[in-house]
Structure 1
């Protein structure tokens, strides 16, 4: 049996995907909203983690390095509505084995799970090429979003959702001052005066890079 932990705070998605995967007969699926995820991983010890990036209690991209630090051999499939253009390469570099956008049919999840469990990496077209180009110090990662760290992208995405400095600080366990520093630094990096302008530029670029 393949043991899977599905982390998504949308009950309908959890239910549909759990039914779909367990119907195969050789998969058993537990679900989680992402709260206290490291403790749940320790308790359940799944072979595969299916992780959304946009969670109420945490940011998936921010969680990835901590998960891989504690569970380096855990297979991880990112299943998210976030832009592949912004996030696919970052999640690959953070240790994920696959990336799938939620606008794809749910039926695609099961074969991706099997490929990952068989040792394959499953990412949108061009992601592995970008990773190789970045490792060779080319200019392939000169996109606007490439100027930001993973933590900065997490903060920017929370701003995109309309969260306040305090809400973001609480979610990422940082101080308000740190969030303000991230905001000022990102605006400076892109020469923007307004946060709304920065969000529009970065996430529009990401959408344009999606396959």
Structure 2
């Protein structure tokens, strides 16, 4: 039986995924909201970590490299509502072994867990190619490629309508630092208005 730690702060999702994974007796699942995650991994020693990126207590993309630094052999599947075209490649580069969006049928998660534990990497089509072609000739993709992981996280929270203070609290930074990230985002994008940048990202997401 494979041990799985599910990190997601939505109880209904945790319950549904736990039932799905444990129904055939292949997995034993424990869950976490993301608080004191490194300590819990040390205590529970899971074989597979299923990690949401958008947590109330932390940013999953920020946590991922730290997790892999301390536990390099731990398999990690990203399970998130965040769009693959923005996050899949970045999570692969940060050490994840797979990526699946929550909009896809839940039974797909079980299949990916088996594949990842068998040594496979499971990412959306085109992600591996994108590592070798960071600029794919489309405006939105070129813009995204200029941002750091932290800038992408800030941009995502801005798009959700969160204030500087709310973002600062999520990322455990100061309001001034968030303002600096916003200024960098605008400078790197070459776009004067955040709403225009959001529209560009939406166009890319729907393409």
Say whether the fold is shared (TM-score over 0.5): yes
Name which structure has the greater RCO, CA cutoff 8 Å, separation 6+. Answer: 1
- Post-superposition offset of 1:173: 1.9
CA distance in 1, matches of 2:87, 2:203: 13
Judge conservation of contact 1:86–1:203 (CA < 8 Å) in 2. Answer: no
2:133 partner SS: helix
Which residue in 1 is equivalent to 2:66?
66
Judge conservation of contact 2:88–2:127 (CA < 8 Å) in 1. Answer: yes
Which residue in 2 is equivalent to 1:90?
90
Which residue in 2 is equivalent to 1:158?
157
1:181 partner SS: helix
Which residues of structure 2 form unaligned runs of 5+? Answer: none
Q: Count residues with an aligned counterpart.
A: 204
CA distance in 2, matches of 1:111, 1:72: 22
1:140 has 2:136 as partner: yes
CA distance in 2, matches of 1:44, 1:204: 42
- Post-superposition offset of 1:203: 4.3
Which residue in 2 is equivalent to 1:16?
16
Which residue in 1 is equivalent to 2:172?
173
**Of 51-60 and 168-177, the range deviating more from structure 2:** 168-177
1:44 has 2:44 as partner: yes
Which residue in 2 is equivalent to 1:54?
54
CA distance in 2, matches of 1:164, 1:199: 16
Judge conservation of contact 1:9–1:56 (CA < 8 Å) in 2. Answer: yes
- Post-superposition offset of 1:56: 1.2
1:31 partner SS: strand
Could you state the TM-score of these two structures normalised by the residue count of structure 2?
Answer: 0.93
- Post-superposition offset of 1:39: 1.7
- Post-superposition offset of 1:170: 2.1
Cα distance per residue 1:42-96 (max 9 Å; x no partner): 2111110001111111111111111111111110000111110011100000000
CA distance in 1, matches of 2:193, 2:175: 19
Which residues of structure 1 form unaligned runs of 5+? Answer: none
- Post-superposition offset of 1:103: 1.2
